[in-house]
Amino acid sequence: MLDLNKLNVFLHAAQTFNFSQTAHILHVSQPTVSKYISELEREFDVVLFDRDGGRLQLTNAGKSLLPWARQLVHQSLDLHEAMLSMKEGIVGHLRIACSTTAGKYILPQIAGRFRRHHPGVQISILTCTQGQVPLNLRESEADFGAMSVEISGDQLECQEFFIDHIIFIVPGKHPWVQRQSIEPAELLEAPFILREPTSGTRRALLSELARHDIALDDLDIFLEVGNAEAIVTAVTNNLGVSFVSRLAAAHARAWGCVAEVPVTGIKLERKLCIARRCLAPPNRAQEAFWGFIHSPENDDLFALSQM
């Protein structure tokens, strides 16, 4: 019979590649970690870690065991939480993978409100890339995933989260602030600050600009930055102009550090979605959160993206 405690030790060791660090994380002794790994190796009659060269590395056998161990440990935790829910109400630990800037503004507030209703539920919001979200869901590393692309099938189901409005911002004292709007061609005159190539905001922007015969090479790109908050800071410091989520620019706009300037004929919106595994065993905490997302009490949060 497999010992889940040993598999859990193996999982942490496969992340840290350091038995002492694993022991510290799990609050056990380093000899206990070594003992559990050795016992797993004897039980499977394989070597899980290559210990040559002073640094641990997973062997092919260890790499093969990793997804199975992850699945078994997560299923064990889900089962434990499901049984607790039968006795103690809605309890458990929800993990939400989020790849969108806008989602990072809305999710913590929804999570906080949900916890007020269900204090027995712990919630972790995990920042990751868009490509990692479906992988985290399929490998049970996350229970929900917020992203800017809709996915369906392949054991995942999706519902609309909210509409993210993307606005054009300039420094607070930029001459365009006095204008009611500018023409798309005028965008070629200003230094641009863009998100990284994998960003959903960037893809949506380039698609919209193409409708006005403006290509990426036509823009005067001053900087490429990996998150919306850094872009807002750069625009605040008069380094250029940009398109960002209205939510990301809200505070800077309120303080007058940046200003929104309409661009004629350009309206940028992104539908954000939230997904889960549709074939996962029933879990009261997950079901409750899935339904709570669009509770009327959260309408004010979704309205923020339109203000």
Q: How confident is the model at residue 82 (pLDDT cuts 50, 70, 90)?
A: low
Residue 247 backbone phi and psi in degrees, to 5:
-65, -40
Distance between CA 81 and CA 92 in Å, rounded? 5
Distance CA 248, CA 241 (A): 14
Would you say the C-alpha torsion 217, 222, 226, 228 has a positive or negative sign?
negative
> What DSSP assignment string belongs to 41-79?
HHHHTS--EE-GGGS-EE-HHHHHHHHHHHHHHHHHHHH
Domain at 289, CATH number:
3.40.190.10
101-110 residue pLDDT tens: 878 899 999 9
58 and 24 within one domain: yes
pLDDT computed for residue 166 by the predictor: 95
In the predicted model, what is the mean pLDDT of the chain? 88
Q: Cβ distance 231 to 281 under 8 Å?
A: no
Output the CA angle 95-17-226, nearest 5 degrees: 50
The per-residue pLDDT for range 165-190, each reduced to its tens digit, is: 999 999 999 999 999 999 999 999 99
Q: What is the pLDDT of residue 279?
A: 63
Give the domain-ending residue among 82, 111, 130. 82
Please give the helix or strand (H or E) that residue 233 lies within, else none.
Answer: helix 228-236
Query: Which two three-digit tokens encode residue 94?
Result: 């929800």
- Model confidence, pTM: 0.72
Work out how many domains the chain is built from and give that number.
3
CB 68 within 8 A of CB 24: no
* Mean pLDDT for the stretch of residues 32-59: 84
Range of the domain at 115: 90-162+271-306
The pLDDT of residue 256 is 95
Q: Which DSSP state fits 2?
A: -
For 216, the token pair is 């990426």
The reply to whether 198 and 288 lie within a common domain is no
Q: How confident is the model at residue 111 (pLDDT cuts 50, 70, 90)?
A: very high
